[in-house]
Amino acid sequence: MDRFDNIPEQALAWHRSGDGAALATVIQTWGSAPRRVGSQLAISGKGEIAGSVSGGCVEGAVIVEALEALEDGTPRELEFGVSDDDAFAVGLACGGTIRVLVEPVGGALSDALLAELVAARARRTAICYVADLDSGARRLVVDGHEDRLRMDRSGFDDTAPRVFIGVHNPPLRLIVVGAVHIAQALVPMARLAGYDPVVIDPRESFASAARFPETTLMHDWPDEAVQALGLDARTALVLLTHDPKLDDPAIEEGLRGECFYIGALGSTRTHAKRVARLQDAGFTESQIGRIHGPIGLDIGAASPAEIAVATLAQMTRVLRRGE
């Protein structure tokens, strides 16, 4: 979680240390807002902050409100908007407006509920935080908001305009089998897109820190490494070795797992042979149909970098729209 947001975790730590903490969440935007709905800022009782709700333009006012909320234990709904004349100067371009919900931990947001949220995030469980702004009720739900989870789209309930649903998805993860040239292009691209990449290749000269700086590298046999990592619904599995001895065992693990995307490098002929091997291994047509092979969107990609672009684009399409 270190490379990604740890805002709820930080708020819980501040609260339990005795400093006190509040969570501020963007619950609605109009126009051009610098941060999307669901963005969060944690504020300690000492005025320390983690995260952002506006990129800096309204944080000062939110901190003041958060410290007051910690004093009286009540939540606050704040609205910030600017005229077109001074929008650019403060970062809310084109007359943008944002609404922010401030919740003191231990008050509107209970210690137990925040701890449960943090535990779910640690387990890589996709979960929604549901806040009824009229009744004050707060709860966590796992089922019933699949479209929101897939799109990472926090917002008000379509049927209950005063019920806010905050999406908490595990960080996206990319598992690449094969430390080849395409992987060298794909890994940094995927990291920029929000993925935590892992590269698996038993050939240590390929999967080296020099070729993949600041990347988790595993030199185990691919199926063993994939088993150790686990394949959940926020994981993409990409196979690039061209070697059935390496790719096939990992593909089989992928077909048994819940990963949202499986892509395998190779020509149409190579993929046909792969399909035949998987059929012989007992996998069904629908299971094998989950594999994207040849890998990537058909954009005429030729170079390793272009194939990486096509692969990342296909991963994004499957993540956001489904198969």
Give, in degrees to the nearest 5, the angle at Cα 49 between 44 and 54.
130
pLDDT band for position 46 (cuts 50, 70, 90): very high
Residue 295 has pLDDT above 60, yes or no: yes
For range 6-20, the mean pLDDT: 95
Taking each helix axis as running N to C, give the angle between helix 7-17 and helix 111-122, from 0 to 180 degrees, rounded to the nearest 10: 140
Cα separation, 81 vs 282, in Å, equals 60
pLDDT band for position 85 (cuts 50, 70, 90): very low
Query: How is residue 165 written in tokens?
Result: 């649903």
Asked if 66 contacts 57 with a C-beta cutoff of 8 angstroms, the reply is no
pLDDT band for position 180 (cuts 50, 70, 90): very high
Query: How is residue 63 written in tokens?
Result: 């901190």
- Residue 167's beta-bridge partner residues? 128
Residue 94 has pLDDT above 70, yes or no: no
Tell me if the bond preceding 161 is cis, omega within 30° of 0: no
Asked if 92 contacts 82 with a C-beta cutoff of 8 angstroms, the reply is yes
For range 35-48, the mean pLDDT: 93
Q: What is the pLDDT of residue 144?
A: 86
> How many CB atoms are closer than 10 A to CB 94?
12
**Which of 159, 169, 108 has the alpha carbon at shortest distance from 137?**
108
Residue 155 has pLDDT above 90, yes or no: yes
Asked if 78 contacts 41 with a C-beta cutoff of 8 angstroms, the reply is no
Residue 196 has pLDDT above 70, yes or no: yes
Cα separation, 99 vs 65, in Å, equals 13
Q: What is the pLDDT of residues 223-242, one digit of tens each?
A: 999 999 999 989 999 999 98
For range 134-144, the mean pLDDT: 94
Asked if 101 contacts 77 with a C-beta cutoff of 8 angstroms, the reply is yes
Question: What whole-number percentage of the chain has pLDDT above 70?
Answer: 93
pLDDT band for position 93 (cuts 50, 70, 90): low
Strands (E), the chain: 21-30, 40-44, 49-51, 76-81, 97-104, 127-132, 138-141, 155-157, 160-168, 172-177, 195-200, 216-218, 235-239, 261-264, 291-292
Q: What is the pLDDT of residue 44?
A: 97
Locus of tokens 């999406």: 167
For range 80-88, the mean pLDDT: 55
pTM of the complete model = 0.78
For range 157-181, the mean pLDDT: 94
DSSP string, 183-225: HHHHHHHHHHTTEEEEEE-S-TTTS-TTTSTT-EEE-S-HHHH
Which structural domains are found in the chain, ordered by start? 7-168 (no CATH), 172-321 (3.40.50.720)
Residue 91 has pLDDT above 60, yes or no: no
**Which of 189, 194, 193, 195 has the alpha carbon at shortest distance from 175?**
195
